[in-house]
Structure formats: C-alpha cells, structure tokens
C-alpha cells in the first residue's frame, strides 16, 4: 500500500488549530478557577458566620480564631427560637395581618373563578347582577368594620379608614370583571364564595399570629415571611394589570400618565417620608400591616418592568383570542400572564427581597415587639444579647438564608430582569 507524505501546510494548520484550542481551553479553565476563588473569598464571611453559629460565645471571641468549633453547639438554633424579649401579642396587630392575607385570598379566588370560559349570556342580567355585587362588596366593608370593633376597641377612624381602603380594592376587582361583560350569575356566586374564603382566611391567620406570641423570634420570622410574600404577590396582581393596560390598550392620556409614573421614580424616598408618616398616622395605621402593604401595593418600577416585557409579546396571540370571543380580562388571565411568567417571577423575587431587607419603613411604622420584622428585631436583639454572639449569629443566618436561597436557585431571573427593563416595544 502506497502512502503519501502529508502536506506540510495541512500539518502546520492543524498544529496551529490545536495550539489555539489549547490556549482557549486553558484560558477558560484559568478564568473559572480565578472566579471560583474570588467567589469563595467573597462568600468567606458567610461561611465563618455559619460555622460561628455552632460555637460557644467564648470561642467566637477567642484569639486566634478557629475555623471549626471544638464542640458543635447544635442547640444554639433551637435556643434562638426560645428567646423572648417580652411583649404580649395584640389583637390589634393580629387582625391587620389577617385582613391583609384575606385580601390576597379574595383576589386570588375571585380572579380565578369570576370569569367562566363558557358564557351563556342567559344568566342573571347586568342591571340585576351589578347592583347585587355592589351590595355584597358594601356588606363586606361593613363586616370589616364590625369585625374590627368586635376584635378589639378599634377607634372610629381606624374602622372607617380600613373599611374604605379594603372596599376600594374590592370594587377595583369588581370593576375589572364588569368591563368584560361576564355572566353576572356566575360573578355573584364567585363573589360570595371569594368573600367567604377571604373571611375564613382572615380569621385563621389572625388567630395564628396571636397564638405564636409577642416578642419571640418565631413571631418576627412569621411577620417578615408573611409580609414579604403577600406584598410581593399583591404587587404582581396590580402591576401586571396596569402593565397590560399600558402595553396593549389605547386610552386618552396614556403616554402622559406613563411618563408621569416614570418621573415619580426619580423622587428619593426621603422626600415623601414625613408626609407619608403623617398620612398613615391620621388614618390610624401606625403599628399595623396596612401601613406597609397599602402604600406599596403598586410600584412604578414593577409597572415599567412588566410593560416593557408585554410590549414584546406578539399581538397575533391576542388577536386570535379576540376572534375566539375572549374578553380583555380573559386574554390577560389566560394568554398574557402565562407568557409573562419569567418577568412575573423576576418581579416577585425583586420585591420579595426588597421587603425582606427593608429596615427604615418597618422601623418607622411598627413599634411593638409583636409587629417587628427580622431586620428591626435583630437590632434590638443584638443590644440585649450582646454577650451571646452565638445566638446573634444564628439570627443573622436565619435572616440571610431566604434571600440567599432565592439568589442561588433563581439567579438567572435577576439577570433576565435587567434585560426585560430595556426591551423596546
């Protein structure tokens, strides 16, 4: 068999390609090693704090410091949840927690059930169904006032302001459904069921908050988790509805309203801090969850983020749904929301993190141990347990863990959230 010598040019080209690939792979490996080492250095304080939560107080302040504890004090973690700074649970604060969760339960159930996919148009007429629905919402507002008065000695200002605020949000939900020409018989049934579910949830969470206790770490964790989750979900509901209107609907003054909303993002929080506090105080919402949920139920950033994303959704899907007879609300619920799931998850993570890490607003509005959130409570906890640094480190770990878990499991959504904000319609 005759063999021919290889072409020197081909051999030279292959050798150059191998050298280039080796340099490329070697450079990539070096970059990964450097980034891993840098990440380890950045994460070192958290590792040391986590290991310190299993040490004794004397071992933490000992010099030279040690990486691992000599004796693993696993009991530090349950000891933290057994600590009590004093203070008894108050029905005034517990009812505010229950009503906020009940509001979320109402919106979730009403928006999921109020619009039937099969509308017969033979049910209850609008001129009967709409007044009945309005009366039901009015009765719900009166029931809220009675509930507050029966739970504790609520002032007239608190009962009126809370009832009007919650009733206004219920009317918003009813108005959105009413614009879609629904089957009013189904709407009335859905409204009754949603109000009943909201009432049960309100009572259940109010009793749960009261039974947990006052100045205990478990109560602070409960307050922080509940406040962060509920406010983030309510922001998703209201911001997504506003974003759908800005991105898809046509109405007079849309450009001016959107620009004015964006301009409000330029105002620093310190400018509105004192006027906001005066308003909240006059409404009687100091030391209640209303002060943190109602003013922050809609954010300009959330509307802007979702609006920019919805502008990139193809209009063909919406037009096909309109041809099939879907209403605007059905398009929003069944077409837009599933497609906007990545942006919604991004906004939820950002708003959850913002509320979990918030310190100034809870410090300003919540002033009794049973209403504190973790950031505020840990500051007081450090002052009273300054000699027990191991418990302080456990508290810091509990406070940091949820945000770190969200970051590690959903870090790509943080990056996508930045890209969504720059999408042009």
CA angle 395, 384, 404 (to 5 degrees): 15
Q: Is the confidence at residue 345, as pLDDT, over 50? A: yes
Q: Dump the DSSP string for 279-310.
A: HHHHHT-TTSTHHHHSTTSS-HHHHHHHHHHH
pLDDT at 6 over 70: no
- pLDDT per position as a tens digit, 75-131: 888 888 888 877 788 899 999 999 999 999 999 999 888 876 555 555 678 889 899
Mean pLDDT of 401-412: 78
User: What is the mean pLDDT of the segment spanning 203-219?
Assistant: 90
- The arithmetic mean of pLDDT across residues 404-422, rounded, is 65
Q: Nearest Cα to 103, choosing from 224, 201, 191?
A: 201
Tell me the pLDDT band of 196, cut-offs 50, 70 and 90.
very high
pTM: 0.85
- pLDDT for 157 equals 93
- Looking at 35-39, 191-195, 255-259, which range is the least confident one? 35-39
Residues of the chain above pLDDT 70, percent: 88
Residue with the two structure tokens 């299993």: 54
Mean pLDDT value of segment 302-315: 87
Q: What are the domain boundaries of the chain?
A: 8-80, 87-214
Look at residue 9 and tell me whether its pLDDT is greater than 70.
Answer: no
Percent helix, percent strand, percent coil in the chain, to nearest 5: 75, 0, 25
């Amino acid at each position: 068999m005759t063999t021919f010598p290889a072409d020197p040019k081909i051999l030279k080209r292959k050798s150059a390609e191998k050298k280039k690939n080796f340099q490329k792979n070697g450079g990539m490996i070096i970059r990964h090693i450097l980034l891993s080492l840098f990440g380890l250095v950045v994460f070192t304080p958290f590792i040391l704090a986590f290991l310190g939560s299993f040490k004794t107080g004397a071992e933490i302040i000992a010099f030279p410091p040690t990486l691992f504890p000599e004796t693993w004090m696993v009991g530090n973690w349950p000891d933290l949840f057994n600590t009590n700074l004093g203070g008894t649970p108050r029905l005034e604060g517990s009812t505010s927690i229950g009503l906020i969760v009940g509001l979320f339960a109402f919106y979730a159930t009403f928006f999921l059930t109020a619009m039937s996919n099969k509308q017969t148009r033979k049910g209850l007429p609008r001129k009967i169904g709409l007044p009945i629905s309005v009366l039901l919402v009015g009765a719900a507002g009166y029931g809220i006032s009675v509930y507050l008065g029966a739970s504790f000695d609520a002032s007239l200002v608190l009962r009126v302001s809370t009832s009007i605020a919650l009733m206004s949000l219920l009317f918003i939900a009813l108005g959105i459904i009413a614009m879609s020409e629904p089957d009013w018989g189904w709407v009335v049934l859905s409204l009754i069921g949603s109000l009943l579910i909201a009432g049960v949830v309100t009572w259940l969470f109010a009793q749960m908050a009261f039974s947990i206790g006052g100045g205990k770490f478990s109560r602070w964790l409960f307050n922080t988790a509940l406040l962060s989750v509920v406010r983030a979900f309510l922001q998703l509901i209201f911001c997504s509805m506003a974003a759908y209107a800005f991105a898809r609907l046509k109405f007079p003054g849309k450009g001016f309203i959107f620009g004015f909303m964006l301009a409000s993002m330029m105002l620093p929080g310190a400018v509105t801090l004192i006027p906001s506090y005066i308003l909240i105080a006059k409404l009687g919402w100091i030391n209640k969850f209303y002060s943190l949920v109602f003013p922050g139920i809609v954010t300009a950033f959330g509307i802007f983020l979702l609006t920019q994303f919805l502008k990139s959704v193809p209009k063909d899907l919406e037009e096909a749904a309109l041809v099939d007879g879907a209403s605007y609300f059905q398009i929003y619920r069944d077409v837009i929301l599933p497609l906007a799931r990545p942006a919604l998850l991004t906004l939820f993570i950002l708003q959850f993190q913002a509320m979990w890490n918030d310190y100034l607003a809870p410090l300003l509005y919540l002033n009794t141990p049973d209403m504190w959130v973790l950031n505020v409570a840990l500051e007081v906890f450090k002052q009273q347990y300054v000699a027990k640094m191991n418990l302080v480190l456990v508290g810091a770990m509990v406070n940091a863990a949820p945000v770190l878990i969200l970051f590690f499991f959903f870090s790509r959504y943080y990056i996508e959230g930045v890209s969504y904000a720059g999408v042009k319609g």
